């Protein structure tokens, strides 16, 4: 019996690439994003390219809490059940602190942390009623250290990571698995404007790695493991003088 996965932020970057990767593996797909016309095009293209059980799509802004809970329930019904929910939708607006751009910081936290938390909460509610499931959340290596021009992004990803750790504890022995991912620089529109993207990998490679980690039900992982398994912890101890130049 094929499994099903719900992916938020499925029209771009990791979400889009993972949708194609999981379709290639035979998963049924529930895809959400804000840009409905792109979402529908991707859903139709996936159905044309791959023999999947089903592909359903819904427009969704994850900052609309009520809509998140409604859409998760609707898509589960449409697919006859959900096995995996991937809280992936995110933004990176690169605001400068103290320069009148706090609206960007607020939007970043609203999407990356509050919206992701709402997605996970809705998934837990569904899985508790249906005997279990698998929650996957996208944090970032930026969660390890606040970086210039990424202050709200780093904070939102760190907050979401801690939230997922709490969810894992809250769901202990309830047959709900939690996977926490820390992607490094994966070639997506989210970071394409940055002048420096160390250890960059293609979005297709990133999606393939993430798909394998999901199927292994790992607790947490950096993406890719090398060199971020060494570099990410190092960020915590670098002097601020070096961080300020990044």
DSSP readout, 12-44? SHHHHHHHHHHHHTT-EEEEEES-HHHHHHHHH
Q: What's the residue count for the chain?
A: 246
Quote the CA–CA distance of 238 and 158 in Å, as a whole number.
Answer: 18
> What is the C-alpha to C-alpha distance for residues 126 and 225, in angstroms, rounded to an integer?
31
Alpha-carbon distance of 167 to 193, in angstroms, equals 33
pLDDT of the residue at 1: 53
Q: What is the pLDDT of residue 196?
A: 78
Per-position pLDDT tens, the chain of length 246: 589 999 999 999 999 999 999 999 999 999 999 999 999 999 999 999 987 779 999 999 999 999 999 999 999 999 999 999 999 999 988 888 899 999 999 999 999 999 999 999 999 999 999 999 999 999 999 999 988 888 999 999 999 999 999 999 999 999 999 999 999 999 988 887 677 788 899 999 999 999 999 999 999 999 999 999 999 999 888 888 887 777
What tokens does 192 get? 């394409």
Catalytic residue, chosen from 20, 27, 153, 182, is 153
- The CATH number that applies at residue 229 is 3.40.50.720
Which pLDDT score, from 0 to 100, does residue 198 have? 82
What ranges in the chain are assigned the alpha helix state H?
Answer: 13-24, 36-49, 65-79, 102-109, 116-129, 151-170, 203-216, 225-235, 240-243
Give the other-Cβ count within 10 Å of 73's Cβ.
15
Q: How many CA atoms lie within 13 A of 200 on its CB side?
A: 12
Report the DSSP beta bridge partners of residue 55: 29
Please give the residue range of the domain that contains residue 31: 4-243
Query: Phi then psi for 57, rounded to 5 degrees?
Result: -140, 150
Catalytic residue check, 172: no
Give the SS3 label for residue 185: coil
Q: How many domains does the chain have?
A: 1
């Amino acid at each position: 019996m094929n499994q099903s996965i719900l992916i938020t932020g499925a029209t771009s970057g990791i979400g889009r690439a993972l949708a194609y990767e999981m379709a290639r593996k035979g998963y049924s797909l529930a895809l959400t994003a804000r840009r409905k016309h792109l979402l529908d095009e991707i859903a139709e293209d996936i159905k044309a390219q791959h023999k999947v059980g089903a592909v359903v799509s819904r427009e969704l802004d994850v900052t609309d809490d009520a809509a998140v809970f409604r859409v998760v329930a609707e898509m589960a019904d449409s697919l006859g059940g959900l096995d995996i929910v991937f809280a992936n939708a995110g933004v990176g607006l690169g605001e400068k602190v103290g320069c009148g751009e706090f609206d960007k910081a607020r939007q970043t936290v609203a999407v990356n942390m509050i919206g992701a938390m709402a997605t996970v909460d809705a998934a837990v509610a569904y899985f508790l009623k249906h005997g279990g499931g698998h929650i996957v959340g996208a944090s970032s290596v930026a969660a390890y250290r606040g970086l210039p021009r990424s202050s709200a992004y780093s904070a939102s990803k760190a907050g979401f990571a801690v939230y997922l750790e709490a969810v894992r504890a809250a769901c202990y022995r309830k047959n709900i698995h939690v996977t926490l991912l820390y992607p490094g620089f994966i070639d997506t529109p989210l970071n394409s404007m940055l002048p420096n993207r160390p250890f960059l990998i293609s979005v297709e490679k990133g999606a393939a790695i993430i798909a394998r980690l999901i199927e292994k039900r790992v607790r947490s992982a950096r993406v890719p493991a090398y060199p971020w398994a060494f570099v990410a912890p190092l960020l915590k101890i670098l002097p601020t003088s070096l961080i300020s130049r990044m």
